[in-house]
Structure 1
Amino acid sequence: MKGIFTIILLFIIQVFSAQEKDYAYANGVFRFEENKAQKVFTDWTRVRQSPSVDAQILDSLQTNQQVLIIKQDETILKLGERIANWYKISYQKDDKTSEGYVWGGNLCVGYRNKNGYDFLFGLTKTVNKKDKQYPEIIINQNIAAVKVVEGNMLIDEASFETGSGESLSYGTFNIESNHKLQNVELTLKAMVSGEACGIAGYDQYVLFKDKKLIALPQLMNVGDADVYYHTEEFIFPNDKGGVPNAFIFKMEEMEKDDKDREKKKKASKTYLWNGNSYKLN
Structure 2
Amino acid sequence: MKSLFTFLLIGLVRVVSAQEQEYTYSNGVFNFEDHKPQKVFTDWARVRQSPDVKAPVSDSLPSNQQVLVLQKEPVALQLGERAANWYKVSYQKNGETKDGYIWGGNLAIGYRNKDGYDFLFGISKTIDRTDKQFNQVYKQNIAAIRAIQGNRLVSEVTFDTGSAESLSYATFTIESNHKLKEVLFTLKASVSGEACGIPGYDQYILFKDQKLIALPQLMNVGDADVYYHDEKFIFPNDKGGIPNAFILKMEEMERDDQDREKKKRSSKTYVWDGNGFTLK
SS at match of 1:29: helix
Q: Secondary structure at the match of 2:197?
A: coil
Residue aligning to 1:138: 137
Distance 1:226 1:5, change over 3 A: farther
Amino acid at match of 2:141: N
Secondary structure of the residue aligned to 2:77 is: strand
Q: How big is the shift at 1:116?
A: 0.7
Flag the 1:10–1:274 CA change in 2: closer, same or farther, 3 A: closer
Please state if 1:108 is matched with 2:108: yes
- 1:25 aligned partner: 25
Kept after mapping to 1: 8 A contact 2:118/2:149: yes
Q: Distance in 2 between matches of 1:197 and 1:60?
A: 40
Task: Provide the residue aligned with 1:118 in structure 2.
Answer: 118
**Residue 51 (str. 1) matches residue 51 (str. 2):** yes
1:135 Cα offset (Å): 3.2
Amino acid at match of 1:157: E
Query: What's the TM-score once normalised by structure 1's chain length?
Result: 0.94
Instruction: Report if aligned partners of 2:22, 2:76 keep a CA contact under 8 Å in 1.
Output: no
TM superposition shift of 1:75:
1.0
Distance in 2 between the 1:233 and 1:117 partners? 27
- The residue number in structure 1 matching 2:248 is 249
- Residue 166 of structure 1 aligns to a residue whose secondary structure is helix
Distance 1:113 1:10, change over 3 A: closer
Matched letter for residue 279 of structure 1: T
CA contact (8 A) 2:180 2:272 kept: yes
Q: Deviations over 1:109-154 (max 9, x none)?
A: 100001111010001110000237x432211000000001111111
For residues 39 and 6 of structure 1, do their structure 2 counterparts lie closer, same or farther at Cα, with a shift above 3 Å needed? closer
Q: Is the 8 A contact 2:47 2:100 kept in 1?
A: yes
Deviation string for 1:11-65 (max 9, x for gaps)?
644xx559x9994200000000000000000011100001111110011100100
1:188-233 Cα offsets, whole Å, 9 max, x none, are 0000000000000000000000100000000000001100000001
Q: Which amino acid aligns with 1:260?
A: D
**Alignment size in residue pairs:** 278
Aligned equivalents of 2:3, 2:192: Cα separation in 1 = 23
SS of structure 1 residue aligned to 2:29: helix
2:136 partner amino acid: I
Letter in 2 for 1:91: Y
Aligned partner of residue 111 in structure 1, secondary structure: strand
Q: TM-score normalised to the size of structure 2?
A: 0.94
Aligned to 2:217: 218
Aligned ranges 1:1-281 → 2 under 5 Å = 12-13=12-13, 16-17=14-15, 23-131=23-131, 134-281=133-280
